Amino acid sequence: MKIRIIIGFMLLLIVTSLNLVALVQAEPGIHQKGGLFTDPYGMSLEKSAKPRSPEIATGVVSNPPRANHRWAVIIGISDYSGDANDLEYCDDDALDFDNALTEMYGWSSSHIKLLVDGQATFANIHLAIDWMRTNEGPGDEVIFFYSGHGSFGTHDMDNDGEKKDVCIIPWECTLEFYIWDGDLKAEFSDFESTRILFYFDSCYSGGMTDLAGSGRLVYMSSKATQMSWEGSQWKNGQFTYYFVDQGMLAHKADANKDGFVTCEEAFDYAKANCRIQAPTASDNFTNDMLP
């Protein structure tokens, strides 16, 4: 059994000039050869979880707009440029979420930009966001989903005045192509929709709260100081496994048994079941969002 950490850099080094975590090959010790991986506190990753409160699901569903008023960009990068920094299941995360939207929630595939591996370049990610901006409007629903490497810098990387910034890492996997939280905030600053879901399954993603705002949900797979995990027992990122595969597709997150799984229900289920990493959320959406 092998477990990999979804981090911007597997071996943490500080770039002297920028005080930035650097991306290099994984430490040999992070690969578990057999049995269940256990966390530093001795809890098996597969140990049944006790619910963590407070839960964010209200049980009151806000019905989605029609399919022609819903727009999504879904990104999953396992195969990065070169061979040193590849992951295994981020592409599966993206494909599973795409499947959930189209098969469970009735989304039109023509309203989804799916960028996997080499398709998820810096330029293509920005073009996909531009495509959503051009098409969305008041009352529409917008989703930005990312699974891949994440990292952080402590030198105001995006000139937003914050000493610590977090980022997502496009396929190019070099510093000049990183997309920082302040960059994403600027990209979405003029969106008209007040029904927006941001989803990050990446290390340090808990720092993506710059994207918070009225009518917005920001779901993050770990705290801003934590790594996020993927592994063969899930065949996904841990967060996405419980949120999408088990929570949505297997319908296990339907807390109020109404036949529908809202984003809030899926998040509560994932948070209750994740180990080592602690998913976090910024919820400024009235009631519960049904994708």
Give the β-pairing of 112-116 and 70-76. Answer: parallel
AA identity, residue 76? G
Report how far apart the first and last C-alpha atoms of the chain are (Å, whole number). Answer: 34
Any bridge partners for residue 115, and if so which? Answer: 75
Least Cα distance to 193 among 289, 271, 105 occurs for: 289
Give the β-pairing of 3-6 and 228-231. Answer: antiparallel
Catalytic site includes residue 167: no
> How far does CA 193 lie from the centroid of its chain?
20
Using alpha carbons only, what angle is made at residue 58 by residues 236 and 265, rounded to the nearest 5 degrees? 15
| DSSP codes joined into one string, 148-187 | S-EEEESS-TTSSS-S-EEEE--TT-SGGG-EEHHHHHHH
| Per annotation, catalytic residue among 90, 167, 173, 203 | 203
> How far does CA 289 lie from the centroid of its chain?
17
Strands of the chain, DSSP E:
3-6, 14-15, 20-21, 61-62, 70-76, 112-116, 141-147, 150-153, 165-168, 179-180, 196-201, 216-220, 228-231, 236-237, 280-283, 288-289
| Per annotation, catalytic residue among 149, 167, 173, 274 | 149
Distance CA 126, CA 184 (A): 9
Question: Which tokens hold the place of 136?
Answer: 């969305």
Q: What are phi and psi of 94, to 5 degrees?
A: -65, -45
Catalytic site includes residue 203: yes
Catalytically active residues, by annotation: 149, 203
